[in-house]
Amino acid sequence: MNANGTPGVALVTGGTSGIGLAVTKRLAGRGLRVFICARTAENVAATVKDLRDQGLDVHGAEGDVRSRESVGRVVQAAVERFGPLTVLVNNAGRSGGGITAKIADELWYDVIDSNLNSVFLVTREALTTGGLDRAGNAGRIINVASTGGKQGVPLGAPYSASKAGVIGFTKALAKELAASGVTVNAVCPGYVETPMAVRVRQAYANTWDTTEDAVLSQFNDKIPLGRYSTPEEVAGLVDYLATDTAASITAQALNVCGGLGIY
């Protein structure tokens, strides 16, 4: 709730599938008004219709988080629909990697644009047009990073570099905004069963000349709990960080990874 007792307003990027969709359902399920964006207008419209049919106060718009102009339109649309933002979840992103010596310029730049530069662009717009750091608003910024941003992912140099950048940005901004009451944290999933995870396993299978099932078995063997996390488990931590109870948690990068990461 806002200070005046009205429901909070959340913006979730990449909110039509995987972790973003789970976060949207979780936040809206406890009464927040949630605005989502994704690159495909049809996916946004279908997701919004489905969630509104479930009684959730969700709206959205097509938006490309790599584009300053597109980000501006999305945040403006969110404010016009629901009012100033109180929660921002920077979730949109992509996988990407391969043998580093063979990575094309275009792949490197797109991973950095999608995963890191987007977090800056959306956050800046949320703090200005979105009004997230206005006086008296104990806002929440939660960035979806990765354990790969802490300990590196073999054949994933662009992805690991981008997520490490997200963690550094999170900690710097948290200290900058601390006096305002706005908290900034990163949630770091390990292996999570999402559509992106399927694409990652396919890429490793092609690189290693093996099967997707073999890759899945190898990955599960690395995880102390022996399984992938679920999007709902990640969303649970994101949701907690958006509550009043989490008001003293800031500048942290918290893992949801089945024990895969140890720092």
**What is the Cα 113 distance to its own chain's centre?**
14
Contact 23, 89 (CB under 8 A): yes
Q: Is there a catalytic annotation at residue 109?
A: no
Find the catalytic residue in 109, 159, 228, 263: 159
For residues 208 and 204, give the distance between their C-alpha atoms in angstroms, rounded to a whole number.
Answer: 6
Crossing angle (nearest 10°) for helices 195-208 and 212-222: 110
- Both tokens of residue 137? 């608003």
User: Rounded to the nearest 5 degrees, what angle is found at the Cα of 123, between the Cα atoms of 151 and 198?
Assistant: 45
Contact 29, 13 (CB under 8 A): no
> What count of other Cβ atoms lies within 10 Å of the Cβ of residue 222?
12
Contact 60, 37 (CB under 8 A): yes
For residues 61 and 125, give the distance between their C-alpha atoms in angstroms, rounded to a whole number.
Answer: 16
Contact 62, 44 (CB under 8 A): yes
C-alpha torsion 71→146→246→23, nearest 10: 60
Catalytic site residues?
Answer: 159
